[in-house]
Amino acid sequence: MLGGIGLASTPLWAASNATTAAYKYNLHYAPHLGMFRHHAGEDPIDQLNFMADQGFTAFEDNDMRNREVGLQEKMAVTMKQRGLRMGVFVAHQIYWQKPNLASGDAALRTEFLEYIKKAIPVAKRVNAKWMTVVPGHVDLRQNMAYQTAHVIESLKQASALLEPHGLVMVLEPLNFRNHPGLFLSESPQAYEICKAVDSPSCKILFDIYHQQIQEGNLIPNIEQCWDEIGYFQIGDNPGRKEPTTGEINYTNVFKYIHGRGYQGILGMEHGNFNSGKEGELAVIKAYQKVDQFL
């Protein structure tokens, strides 16, 4: 047995937990759909139940806004029943290869704001507080200062839509290797933008995987950005798999985050290092290992 995990041939979420208690994590780590499908099956509700049975207290789903309303509602009911907090979903169409928010184009800004408006009822339906925003590609024809001003103005207008609902968009800097040419790549840049927007509805999504590649110096940068960080995501480097498979000392990173009193969610936005049930068990074992920092 591994913290309540067995090697039964039937889905473990359906097995009795009368004699095995789920592992109690110190932080709110959030798996995503597909991470445990070999144990739980393909049904999203079964996967949520499996996550809860293993002691996870949160869940994130980048694709939530694109799911059928009926499924969103069923997932929300299950999460509430099982004590799973909803993490981020992606709020809008991301422009990976051409500028949108950085361009200052009025039509593209309007399009972005329409996505934000549509994301509000999704967030309410699934009890989400946070939604991911990526400002898109750089505009090579404009000075960076002008681009920054354009992005800030779009985010101010989006914040005005979100604030009355208590919702928060979290800006995600992405590394140059996986996503070359994007406007937002570093945590100090995101910090500067959030300070300029000056809204409780505009914060940073500090993706530890991306920032290890982009800038390193993880704990000092988290410390510098702390008052503007709204959400974390996880992935080890190289490989973007679970902690313990790469170079990041996640036990120390989590110890620092916990020591600051963080009560938010840490999204497990990574793949499984090994395939099948064995790989899924390894993910759970890895999180139990790096969570032992107290």
- Note whether 23 and 56 are within 8 A (CB): no
- Give every residue of the chain whose pLDDT is below 70, as ranges: 1-21
Dihedral of alpha carbons 56, 62, 65, 71, sign: negative
Q: Among residues 60, 172, 228, 280, which one is catalytic?
A: 172
CATH superfamily placement of domain 22-290: Divalent-metal-dependent TIM barrel enzymes (3.20.20.150)
- What span, in angstroms and rounded, lies between the C-alpha atoms of 215 and 217? 6
- What span, in angstroms and rounded, lies between the C-alpha atoms of 107 and 112? 9
Determine the pLDDT at residue 114. 98
Amino acid at 6: G
The percent of the chain in helix, strand and coil, each rounded to the nearest 5, is 45, 15, 40
Q: Among residues 60, 242, 269, 280, which one is catalytic?
A: 269
DSSP class of residue 261 equals T
Determine the pLDDT at residue 21. 67
Determine the pLDDT at residue 85. 98
Known catalytic residue: 269? yes
